[in-house]
């Protein structure tokens, strides 16, 4: 086994990856909620999921989170970006080092600081060359730029993995995968299709703000990072006038695919400024649920179930609000036996192998790109 692994690693480092079979890939994700770094091993050939491996989580320290928060909305060369990139690279190196002995390749998303696909592009802090040198493994990174350059939104990128999961679950009807991080995104997948880029297989888009507005509210008003379990929101009453104004935002009238930056709905903080803490939390939580329900109106057909991953699934108030607004069951993805904290990290492991094999990572119905395109570049450690 050791000789086989050594030979495979040599092949990956030299670029001979197109004809490989299933390998253990290590994916990492640091989302817009700025909680920390998730890392997960996945056994995959980039098309099928064979097995799930170990996982690891490395939280950002409060001072690291402040460095990252200060750089949100910034672009390469702006003040604070170099410091943010150093935090991202160090945290990822520390997290990934726990699992590299089992991995053949790494998928590194980086930390999104700014996302403006119709303007300046997309900016994820962190350099794959640095990680490849530190970890001694090929690192696939910069997943979004090619899609944006070819006219796509560059997001969301997890849908091709969601499609593989739907087929792994052997489902025979459409399913919706909802991820509730700082921003919400949803994938409608039909596992009866054979490839993710096939017509009718996928529809994906960002639904709207998810945890970020509530997290920011809690940090600003109570000095805590989140509304744990939705306890504060449960004490309040959503302001219907604020919700109506929120849903009148031009974003909700755009047809998908479409994507958001974490700060695109920054005005929500002003809209709830005059509400007490509980009502403000309830209103922001309801805004997330309302945006998901509005997005579901675009689904090609009703999903059999909505599977929720990301931190938002731990918010009982949010999950109840979603269940009230959706016409299908809304359940945490753990009910399928999957780890809802690691779906996006696994997705970038899966995408790394797709990049290695020259397979597409996005298509017209996931990012709006004109044709199926493969993103990502590969950094290889020096021999």
CA distances to 6, 224, 230, 348, 353 from 3, rounded to whole Å, are 5, 50, 51, 26, 21
44-62 residue pLDDT tens: 999 999 999 999 999 999 9
146: which residues sit within 8 A by CB, 6+ positions away? 373, 374, 375, 376
Question: Token pair 């004109």 is at which residue?
Answer: 370
222-270 residue pLDDT tens: 999 999 999 999 999 999 999 999 999 999 999 998 888 778 898 999 9
261-309 residue pLDDT tens: 778 898 999 999 999 999 999 999 999 999 999 999 999 999 999 999 9
pLDDT given at position 7: 44
Report the DSSP pairing between strands 121-125 and 105-116.
antiparallel
Question: Token pair 């009453």 is at which residue?
Answer: 237
Q: Say yes or no: do domains 2-152+344-379 and 159-336 share a fold.
A: yes
For the question of whether the overall pTM of this predicted structure is more than 0.75, the answer is yes
The CATH class of the 159-336 domain is alpha beta
Beta bridge partners of 293: none
Beta bridge partners of 184: 180, 208
Specify whether domain 2-152+344-379 bears CATH 3.30.750.24.
no
Cα radius of gyration (the chain):
20
CA distance 231 to 71: 30
345-375 residue pLDDT tens: 999 999 999 999 999 999 999 999 999 999 9
* SS3 label, residue 61: coil
- Single out the residue of 115, 143, 109 nearest to residue 38, CA to CA: 109
CA distance 238 to 272: 10
Whether the CB-CB separation of 233 and 214 falls below 8 Å is answered with: yes
Question: Which residue ranges make up each domain of the chain?
Answer: 2-152+344-379, 159-336
174: which residues sit within 8 A by CB, 6+ positions away? 188, 189, 190, 191, 299, 300, 301, 302, 303, 304
Q: Provide the greatest CA pair distance for the chain.
A: 65
Is the pLDDT confidence value at 71 over 50? yes
303-331 residue pLDDT tens: 999 999 989 999 999 999 999 999 999 99
Residue 371's φ and ψ, nearest 5 degrees, are -145, 165
């Amino acid at each position: 086994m050791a000789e086989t692994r050594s030979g495979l690693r040599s092949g990956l480092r030299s670029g001979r990856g197109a004809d490989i079979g299933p390998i253990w890939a290590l994916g990492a994700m640091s989302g817009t909620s700025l909680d920390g770094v998730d890392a997960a091993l996945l056994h995959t050939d980039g098309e099928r999921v064979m097995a799930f491996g170990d996982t690891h989580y490395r939280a950002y320290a409060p001072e690291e989170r402040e460095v990252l928060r200060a750089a949100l909305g910034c672009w390469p060369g702006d003040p604070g970006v170099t410091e943010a990139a150093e935090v991202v690279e160090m945290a990822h190196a520390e997290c990934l080092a726990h699992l590299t002995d089992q991995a053949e390749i790494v998928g590194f998303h980086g930390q999104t600081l700014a996302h403006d696909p119709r303007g300046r592009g997309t900016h994820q802090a962190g350099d794959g060359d640095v990680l490849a040198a530190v970890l001694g493994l090929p690192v696939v990174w910069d997943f979004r730029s090619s899609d944006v350059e070819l006219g796509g939104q560059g997001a969301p990128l997890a849908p091709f993995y969601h499609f593989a999961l739907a087929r792994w679950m052997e489902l025979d009807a459409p399913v919706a995968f909802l991820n509730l991080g700082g921003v919400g995104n949803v994938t409608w997948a039909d596992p009866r299709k054979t490839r993710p880029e096939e017509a009718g297989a996928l529809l994906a888009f960002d639904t709207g703000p998810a945890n970020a507005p509530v997290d920011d509210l809690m940090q600003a008003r109570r000095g805590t990072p989140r509304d744990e379990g939705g306890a504060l929101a449960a004490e309040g009453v959503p302001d219907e006038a604020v919700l109506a104004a929120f849903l009148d935002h031009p974003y909700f009238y755009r047809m998908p695919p479409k994507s958001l930056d974490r700060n695109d709905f920054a005005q929500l903080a002003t809209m709830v400024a005059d509400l007490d803490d509980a009502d403000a939390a309830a209103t922001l939580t309801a805004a997330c649920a309302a945006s998901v329900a509005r997005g579901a109106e675009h689904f090609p057909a009703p999903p059999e179930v909505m599977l929720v991953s990301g931190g938002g699934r731990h918010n009982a108030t949010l999950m109840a609000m979603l269940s009230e607004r959706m016409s299908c069951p809304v359940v945490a993805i753990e009910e399928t036996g999957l780890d809802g904290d690691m779906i996006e990290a696994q997705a970038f492991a899966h995408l790394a192998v797709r990049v290695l094999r020259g397979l597409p990572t996005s298509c017209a119905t996931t990012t709006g790109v004109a044709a199926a395109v493969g993103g990502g570049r590969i950094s290889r450690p020096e021999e």
